[in-house]
Amino acid sequence: MNISGILVTALPEHIAEVARSLSNLPGLDVTQIHAASGKLVVVQEAASVGEEVEAFKRIRTLPKVIAVDLVQHYFEDDNELIDAIPDELIRLEGIHVPTALQD
């Protein structure tokens, strides 16, 4: 099981629409909404890194979404532990990965 904390940004006037769209996607839970800034905190659960990456891509393509940032990533299963963010996530446009975590 992979669990990620994601920050989603939208224009403040579209925050409710984006929150509804996110809530309709499987494995996502909108935990915080800051309407004035257009920021939403989302927790994502996925069975594998591949499923996680696909869900992240779906979030990025939602109407009215400006940016999607991976804030935290947790691997529950020992056999999936890694020392850096997976290449699949690094290659996604718009993600900043600290140099120390890049291969």
What is the predicted pLDDT for the residue at 1? Answer: 81
What is the predicted pLDDT for the residue at 91? Answer: 61
CA separation for the pair 38, 11 (Å, rounded):
5
CA separation for the pair 54, 102 (Å, rounded):
21
Q: What stretch of H or E contains 93?
A: none
Q: Would you give the end-to-end CA distance of the chain in angstroms?
A: 23
Q: What is the mean pLDDT of residues 40-59?
A: 90
Query: How is the chain split into domains, by residue range?
Result: 2-101
CATH 3.40.50.720: does it fit domain 2-101?
Answer: no
Q: What is the pTM (predicted TM-score) of this model?
A: 0.73
Q: What's the pLDDT tens digit per position in 56-101?
A: 899 999 999 999 998 987 876 545 455 555 666 656 555 555 566 5
